Chains A and B, each alone.
Chain A
Amino acid sequence: MSAPHPEQVTSALPHEPEKATLEGRNKVLAFWLFLGGESVLFGTLFATFLALRNQVADGPTANELFKLPTVAAATFILLVSSLTSVFAIQAMHKGNRKLLQIWLAITVVLGLGFLGLEITEFYEYVNHEKYGMTTSAFSSAFYTLVGFHGAHVAFGVLWISMLIGQLSKKGLTVVTAPKVYVSAMYWHFIDVVWVFIFTVVYLLGKVG
C-alpha cells in the first residue's frame, strides 16, 4: 500500500505537468486572477506614493536619500532571480526534479540577498537619515509601497523554500508541478512590480 516511488511517477510525467490535470489548469487560471488583483493593490499604493512624494515636511527628500548603487544591485539580483526561476520551470518540463530544486534554491538565495539589501537600506534610513515611517507623507507612502513589495519577496522566499521541501518528500508529480509553476509566476510578478518601483520611486525620485 506504499505510495509509488517518486522516480516512477516522474518517468510517466507529461511534458507540461502543470497543465496535465483540470485542477492544475484551474490553479494556473485562478492565479492569473489573483495577479490581476495584486496589480490593483500595487496600483493604489503607487497612486498614493505619486500623490505624496513631494510632501517631505521637515524630513529628507528623495534626492537626498536614495543611493543609486544600492538600488542597481537590488535590481540586478531580482532580475537574475527571475531568470533562475525560468530555468527552474525548464528543468521541471524536462522532468528533472534535482535540477528543479537547485534552480529554486538559487532563486531563494537571491531573494534573501535582495531582502538583506532592503533591510540594510531601511535600517540606514531610520537610524542615520532620521527618515522613519511617520517623518513625512512621503516617508509613509515610501515605506508602505516598498515595504509591501519586500513583504511579497519574503513570502515568496518562504513559499518556494517549502515547495523545495515538498518536492523532496512527494517528488515531481502532476500534483506538485502546478504549485511550482504558480510560485514561478508569482516570482516573475514580484520582479515586474520592482521594475515600476525602481523607476517610479528611485529613479524619478533622483530626477525630481
Chain B
Amino acid sequence: MATQQDTNRGSAVRHRHRVEGPQKHVVAFIFSIVLTLIAFAAVAAGGVNSSFTIILLVVMAVLQVIIQLAYWMHMKDKGHMIPIIFMAGGFFVAFTAVITALYWVWW
C-alpha cells in the first residue's frame, strides 16, 4: 500500500516538475572553468600585490563552491531547507575551526 501511494506521489511530482535540460549545468561548468582559470592565471602571472591575489583567490573559490552547490547539488531548488541547514551547520563549524587555528598561531 505504502509503495502504491509513493508511486502516485512520484507521478504527481512528474506533472509539476519541468524536465531540466543540460544547459544550466553546462553554464555552471563554464563558470567553474572560468573562475578556476582566473585563480590560476592570477598566481601564474605573479608579481602582483600578494594580499590582493589572496583575496581574489578566496573570492573565486567561494563563488565556485556556491555555484556548484546551487546548481549541481540542486540546493537552489525548493524543498532544500533542511539540506541547507545541515550544510550551513557543517560550514559554520569548519569556518570556526579555521579561524581558531589561525588565531592560535598568530598569538
Contact = CB atoms under 8 A, between A and B. Distances in A.
Interface of A: 12, 14-17, 19-22, 29, 32-33, 35-40, 42-44, 46-48, 50-51, 68, 72, 75-76, 79-80, 82-83, 86-87, 90, 93, 174, 185, 188-189, 191-192, 195-196, 198-200, 203-204, 206-208
B72 to A, nearest CB: 5
B83 A14 contact: no
A188 B91 CA distance: 16
Contact of B102 (A12, A35, A37, A51): A51
Question: Which among A16, A44, A48, A80 has the greatest number of chain B C-beta atoms within 10 A?
Answer: A44
Contacts of B32: 79
Nearest to A34: B86
B interface: dominant SS? helix
Given A22-B2, A204-B54, A199 B61 contact: yes
14 contacts: A20-B7, A29-B82, A39-B87, A44-B94, A44-B97, A79-B32, A90-B20, A195-B64, A199-B39, A199-B60, A203-B57, A204-B54, A204-B57, A207-B54
Question: Which among A14, A19, A75, A206 has the greatest number of chain B C-beta atoms within 10 A?
Answer: A14
Interface residues of B, number: 54
Contacts of A22: 2, 6
Interface of B: 2-3, 6-7, 9-11, 13-14, 17, 19-20, 22, 25-26, 29, 32-33, 36, 39-40, 42-44, 50, 53-54, 57-58, 60-61, 64-65, 68-69, 72-73, 82-83, 86-87, 89-91, 93-95, 97-98, 100-102, 104-105
Contact of A42 (B3, B7, B54, B94): B94
Question: Which among B26, B50, B69, B94 has the greatest number of chain A C-beta atoms within 10 A?
Answer: B94
A60 B53 CA distance: 23
The 3 lowest CB-CB distance pairs between A and B, nearest first, are A43-B94, A14-B10, A39-B90
Contacts of A195: 36, 61, 64-65, 68
Nearest to B25: A86
Contacts of B50: 207-208
Contact of A47 (B7, B11, B17, B98): B98
B94 A39 contact: yes
A68 B10 CA distance: 47
Given A72-B40, A192-B69, A204-B57, A47 B97 contact: yes
A131 B51 CA distance: 28
B43 A188 contact: no
